[in-house]
């Protein structure tokens, strides 16, 4: 209510000044929902203009036809049928789209599991072992360091480190651990997962940390008093209460990795299939309807994953 | 002001898209020198869309000095240039693009052909473009989108390529080159003479090709022909069966781990080669020179099957008319008048009008770059840095030998859609 009155002050001083009069009282009674709309309005408009409307266009274009140089606004399922080409004929072998999504999901799962593990413990450390607010702030900021440089620079920097003649290989060879440079350090699934984890662990840390600091410390003390071991407290108290943060962090990481093609492209030497890469190749060949159809498929699959996750935890309730 | 902002915006996007180095440098430095621009009646500004190849800062500075035309570079990758022409034809004035994209650009109606009669040096343009021959009379291979097949239109607004010379020119030729494999002789330690070596298991995990499907597949086709497996009627315009066959060869190579990584921009190719990640890959001449100027041995290896060539030129956006069109002609005429040609020749590319470029080069430079003779003095890059010590000979030799050895040209196939689908299949394999 405080906020809504503040807004009233700004929006219409007259209304507030005359709050004794019936008319104004009525207006004030009507206002909460109106004010909620007012508060949500700007974001809603941005969402509508820059997300929903473009999305509708993408869906429409995905059902258009095309030639080498233009879109043909006539209904065609070509974008979809081409995408699923051979999916039945090639059974039991997977078709292109099947293989691509299998690979994407595999990368996505690995990145999710690792970022969750690392992110959880970083958040745990920040929330329970760092006592001062200042230090908590300072250390959280440290987690943002991977974002201080541009995406491209960050990824190019891996080559001198992981390359055939990079620091890691030459270090291992000098110490005699290996005689041949390790080829799989770069341009491999390993390097893709490494780069994605390096980039996106932060997206796990923040929401989980946010959930953890809101856990009432007396609950943990109560668990301790009731004789729970550290592990029991973790499993029965902390993890359940940090669930919303875990789910939100997971949604961040999964949606980003599902659509990524830049990191997978650069770190995978452009030889690892990704759902986003199919779209990129199509767009570069000016085959926009086919690209749009693939975007719709990607959206549907990502949406499915998120729906499944929110089935596990009702985020709305937990917040 | 708005112009300055636009330049920066593009540079940021280009960076995001992965063309960090050159592109960012070109666009970024444009932003620094782009002092707040005061609009006056006689300010001549042209927005120039293209890849980083022709977009030297020295060129725009010299152009401003000579003609008073201020060039604002909009730098993008080859694919993005085409995309921009199709989707935002009003966002540029002058377009610098490759001939192979004309098959898409001309039918779209978004570009305007230029009038050959208004190009002073048109008759001096190298016969490579107009006749498919070197000045010495050597016939050049015409597979793919060879420039002479798409140089003229039937009429001013025609969307049909003319079979004989007309005055309506799709792209006024500017720069071109003959591409081949770059190799690391210090790591390979034996002579390389054929395209077949690209997929030789000896270089497993150490080979690379260009990450542009239409060009990558042509490199693979050169390998297929070199191994004697198949002879294409036209490597730049394959049938579905030929695409399947070529992709099968590439898929087998990929599964066996032949390729280290595919590259998309100049700096990526330099990085891969200089770091030793690859020892054999398709490459551009200045990229080889760049690796060499880092003190690392690298050869732009001539191969017996010949070169894969490319060429680019100028046209204007369909939205350009009146005074702006006149400035565009003035700019194109300036570009062919020698300074820019010499600048490009000194990087290892070739200029379209040889006579004017020659007049702007020292005789020893001309002898090294164009005649394939040993360098009399140290060879320097346009920025003054040392490229080759005295006594060096250009890989592949003279202009006649290199351009005369061209086997095919970068192309867009009729079956492009099928090929792109097969490319995605290849990546997923």
**A312 or B168, which is more confident?**
B168
The neighbouring-strand residues paired with B176 are: B311, B350
Q: d(Cα B64, Cα B75) in Å, to the nearest integer?
A: 19
Q: pLDDT 10s digit of each residue in chain B, 429 long?
A: 333 333 333 443 343 344 334 334 444 444 444 444 544 456 899 999 998 878 888 999 999 999 999 999 999 888 889 999 999 999 999 999 999 999 999 999 999 999 999 999 999 999 999 999 999 999 999 999 999 999 999 988 888 999 889 999 999 999 999 999 999 999 999 999 999 999 999 999 999 998 889 999 999 999 999 999 999 999 999 999 999 999 999 999 999 999 999 988 888 899 899 999 999 999 998 899 889 988 899 999 999 999 999 999 999 999 999 999 999 999 999 999 999 999 999 989 999 999 999 999 999 999 999 999 999 999 998 888 888 899 999 999 999 999 999 999 999 999 999 999 999 899 988
Joined together, the tokens standing for residue B72 give: 């604002």
Q: d(Cα B427, Cα B429) in Å, to the nearest integer?
A: 6
> Which residues in chain A touch residue B420, judged by CB atoms under 8 angstroms apart?
281-282, 285, 287
Q: d(Cα B363, Cα B357) in Å, to the nearest integer?
A: 11
**Does residue B264 sit at the A interface (CB-CB below 8 Å)?**
yes
> Which residues in chain B touch residue A69, judged by CB atoms under 8 angstroms apart?
86, 104-105, 107-108
* Contact check, Cβ <8 Å, B107/A159: no
Contact residues for A55 (Cβ-Cβ < 8 A; gap 6+): A299
Instruction: Give domain limits for chain B.
Output: 2-170+310-336, 180-306+405-428
Quickly name the fold that domain B180-306+405-428 has: D-Maltodextrin-Binding Protein; domain 2 (3.40.190)
Nearest CA in chain A to B84: A286
What are phi and psi for residue A263, nearest 5 degrees?
A: -65, -45
Q: d(Cα B152, Cα B161) in Å, to the nearest integer?
A: 6
CA-based max dimension of chain A: 89
Going along chain A from its start, the domains and CATH numbers come out as: 1-62 (no CATH), 86-318 (1.10.3720.10)
Q: d(Cα B16, Cα B36) in Å, to the nearest integer?
A: 25
* Contact check, Cβ <8 Å, A99/B213: no
pTM: 0.82
* Contact check, Cβ <8 Å, A271/B262: yes
> Which residues in chain B touch residue A159, judged by CB atoms under 8 angstroms apart?
271, 275, 277
- Interface TM-score (ipTM) > 0.90: no
pLDDT of residue B19: 39
Instruction: Please report, to the nearest 10 degrees, the dihedral formed by the alpha carbons of residues A242, A247, A248, A250 taken in order.
Output: 120
Nearest CA in chain B to A283: B83
Q: d(Cα B182, Cα B273) in Å, to the nearest integer?
A: 8
Same fold, B2-170+310-336 and B180-306+405-428: yes
**Does residue A255 sit at the B interface (CB-CB below 8 Å)?**
no
pLDDT at A294 over 60: yes
Residues counted in chain A: 319
Burial A150-176 (b: 16+ CB within 10 A, else e): ebbebbbebbeebbbebeebeebeeee
Mean pLDDT of A12-26: 50
Residue A9 half-sphere exposure, CB side, CA atoms within 13 Å? 6
Joined together, the tokens standing for residue B99 give: 């001939």
Q: d(Cα A86, Cα A78) in Å, to the nearest integer?
A: 14
A221-273 per-position pLDDT tens digit: 999 999 988 899 999 999 999 998 999 999 999 999 999 998 898 899 999 99
> Which residues in chain B touch residue A287, judged by CB atoms under 8 angstroms apart?
417, 420
Quickly name the fold that domain B2-170+310-336 has: D-Maltodextrin-Binding Protein; domain 2 (3.40.190)
pLDDT at A80 over 60: yes
The neighbouring-strand residues paired with B139 are: B133
**Does residue A159 sit at the B interface (CB-CB below 8 Å)?**
yes
């Amino acid at each position: 209510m405080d906020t809504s009155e503040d807004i009233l002050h700004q929006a219409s001083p007259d209304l507030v000044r005359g709050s004794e009069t019936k008319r104004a009282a009525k207006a004030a009674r009507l206002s909460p929902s109106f004010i909620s709309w007012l508060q949500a309005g700007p974001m809603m408009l941005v969402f509508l203009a820059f997300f929903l409307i473009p999305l509708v266009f993408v869906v429409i274009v995905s059902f258009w036809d095309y030639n080498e140089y233009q879109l043909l606004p006539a209904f065609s399922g070509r974008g979809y049928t081409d995408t699923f080409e051979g999916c039945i004929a090639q059974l039991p072998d997977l078709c292109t789209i099947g293989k691509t999504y299998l690979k994407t999901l595999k990368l996505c799962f690995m990145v999710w599991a690792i970022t969750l593990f690392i992110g959880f413990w970083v958040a745990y450390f920040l929330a329970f072992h760092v006592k001062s607010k200042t230090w908590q702030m300072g250390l959280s900021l440290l987690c943002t360091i991977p974002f201080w440089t541009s995406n491209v620079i960050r990824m190019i920097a891996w080559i001198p480190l992981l390359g055939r003649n990079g620091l890691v290989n030459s270090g291992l060879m000098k110490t005699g651990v290996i005689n041949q440079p390790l080829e799989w350090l770069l341009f491999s699934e390993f390097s893709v997962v490494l780069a994605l984890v390096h980039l996106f662990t932060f997206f796990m840390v923040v929401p989980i940390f946010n959930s953890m600091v809101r856990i009432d410390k007396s609950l943990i003390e109560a668990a301790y008093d009731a004789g729970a071991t550290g592990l029991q407290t973790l499993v029965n108290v902390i993890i359940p209460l940090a669930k919303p943060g875990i789910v939100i962090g997971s949604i961040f990481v999964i949606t980003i990795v599902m659509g990524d093609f830049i990191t997978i492209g650069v770190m995978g030497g452009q030889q690892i299939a990704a759902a986003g890469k199919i779209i990129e190749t199509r767009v570069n060949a000016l085959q926009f309807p086919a690209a749009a159809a693939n975007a719709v498929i990607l959206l549907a699959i990502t949406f499915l994953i998120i729906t499944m996750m929110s089935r596990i935890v009702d985020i709305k309730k937990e917040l | 002001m708005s112009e300055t902002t636009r330049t920066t915006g593009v540079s940021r996007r280009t960076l995001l898209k992965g063309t960090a180095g050159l592109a960012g440098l070109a666009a970024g430095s444009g932003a620094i020198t782009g002092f707040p621009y005061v609009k006056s009646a006689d300010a001549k500004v042209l927005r120039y869309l293209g890849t980083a190849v022709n977009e030297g800062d020295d060129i725009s500075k010299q152009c401003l000095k000579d003609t008073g035309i201020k060039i604002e570079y909009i730098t993008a990758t080859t694919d993005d240039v085409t995309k921009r022409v199709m989707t935002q034809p009003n966002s540029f004035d002058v377009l610098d693009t490759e001939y192979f994209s004309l098959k898409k650009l001309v039918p779209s109606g978004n570009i305007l052909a230029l009038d050959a009669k208004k190009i002073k040096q048109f008759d001096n343009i190298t016969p490579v473009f107009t006749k498919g021959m070197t000045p010495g009379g050597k016939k050049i291979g015409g597979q793919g989108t060879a420039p002479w097949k798409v140089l003229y239109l039937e009429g001013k607004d025609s969307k049909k390529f003319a079979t004989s010379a007309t005055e309506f020119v799709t792209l006024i030729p500017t720069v071109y080159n003959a591409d081949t494999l770059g190799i690391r002789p210090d790591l390979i330690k034996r002579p390389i003479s054929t395209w077949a070596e690209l997929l030789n298991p000896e270089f497993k995990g150490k080979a690379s090709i260009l990450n542009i499907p239409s060009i990558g597949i042509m490199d693979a086709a050169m390998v297929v022909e070199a191994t004697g497996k198949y002879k294409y009627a036209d490597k730049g315009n394959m049938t579905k069966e030929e695409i399947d066959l070529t992709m099968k060869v590439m898929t087998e190579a990929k599964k066996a781990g032949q390729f280290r990584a595919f590259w998309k921009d100049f700096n990526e190719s330099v990085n891969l080669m200089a770091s030793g990640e690859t020892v054999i890959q398709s490459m551009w001449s200045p990229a080889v020179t760049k690796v060499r100027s880092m003190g690392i041995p690298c050869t732009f290896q001539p191969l017996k099957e010949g070169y894969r060539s490319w060429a680019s030129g100028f046209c204007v956006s369909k939205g350009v008319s009146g005074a702006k069109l006149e400035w565009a002609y003035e700019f194109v005429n300036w570009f062919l008048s020698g300074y820019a040609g010499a600048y490009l020749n000194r990087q290892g590319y070739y200029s379209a009008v040889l006579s004017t470029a020659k007049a702007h080069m020292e005789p020893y430079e001309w002898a090294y770059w164009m005649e394939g003779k040993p360098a009399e003095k140290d060879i320097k890059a346009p920025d003054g840095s040392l490229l080759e010590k005295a006594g060096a000979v250009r890989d592949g030799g003279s202009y006649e030998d290199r351009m005369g050895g061209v086997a095919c040209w970068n192309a867009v196939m009729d079956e492009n859609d099928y090929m792109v689908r097969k490319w995605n299949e290849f990546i997923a394999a």
